[in-house]
Structure 1
């Protein structure tokens, strides 16, 4: 059994073939998509966060709106770039969104990846301390975020407050019990996956990672997941670890599917650079008739290792078509692979 969710980058553009012509379209359709996904039995609605781009950027208003209109589906991110964040303000926003949803938030964070502008986090008022890299800054903020999510008091109360204070040091409010245990780390390397396990975060592994040994993508990703699980067990956490992988998967069940994606499943892994000195490997997309798709996915070692699969979706094609894409996986593919 696997949890199956969607992952939306939330693109928009004033293009005649797009159903999402502006930011308002994307936000409102994201809510509608999550509601409809819950109705067909999907387990999760996840959203990417990109700054300075015509994509989704401020996740908490969207997650709160989805939480208010749904009942069961997990809602989350994949991922929030911590270099841009104020960890304390984020604790408040995340706590509010989790309480609105009734404890369904699954928040993916990371140290960040290349963005649309050079050192965009500087425009948000942040910069690494002396001797730090921006990656160091992102990880340090993540640890502060995790610490404050515990709900321990740390702030000295005003002796003459506007409203009476409880005794002792004050914590951030609203506080949501249990949210600290539902934070995920987006890891692009084996080492950061191990670091996530040591710090009690679940693992999100996407369709790319640093190329660490030249093996096919799904094998490298499976190795990363196994290292993560070993580190989790060694750390002695009292709950079970969770791991998600994301994939572009399209079951070609009608002519429209074949028109959109009929050529996308014939490729292979590719290589590039997401940082100047680190080669990355990018996993292939899957697009085929259901019987062929089942055979190909059965050989994907990383999907076998993960408990959660996030399906990247073409959000610009509108809610109805994306629900068709997701329903096709649930109906024609998932049962044969034992996911459902």
Structure 2
């Protein structure tokens, strides 16, 4: 019989690519999403498959899955600032109550669980590049704290279940990831820059643009996550691309890629926006025999082609969802 894997946040960017990966690896995929930020179009191509099923469910409520479950991948959470600043309470709940529910399910099913943590647990780092041993520099009461602290709590309760209950757990600290199926208006730098280019708008750089990011193409990221799940290592592992670039230089790359003549305009830096992001992936190289293979040039070409094929309606629409019921 096929191994069965539950993927939460399955209709989101990373979650949907994970569904594709596990289907390709001959798993039976149980997808779960409440569709606050996810989109069914990301996984609709899988609906016809016998090895795929979808549950429209909020994991902050009780989670039940009939039958055996071999693996759980917890990717349910708003991941972009524009989302978690609009739904701060739901963001905290999915990282705490949702994680608790899934850890309980993993314990009940005797399943191995991988938790999607983030480089944001490092906050605005005082150590560079960031190693897994760095404890971080996070403003717990700042606007970004709802996401950062939700993920830090998520790691803590996961390790508590590992140590106290002997649960098989894995923790992935995910750095900036990009590729097809990102939402154009989710506020993250790559879709923001590409969207502005395609609409003929100036590119918006916050601060002086000297802050750095490290971008990992989604296929590389998914492969690293897959290897981590199947490894024997329970402590956090950075999964990201160590090639660092300033936001200003990246904006210039976008202008060259899109063959546009947009200007770069500067706006004030948001509160607690990290100034440096670069993963130390020594552990991933040693433990998982993994490192990114796809260059930023190649990955950005693929990503740009995806966004170029969006309809004008998708390109110009702005998202005005009513999130009030999710902030209770």
Structure-1-length-normalised TM-score:
0.33
If the length of structure 2 is used for normalisation, what is the TM-score?
0.34
Q: Which has the larger radius of gyration?
A: 1
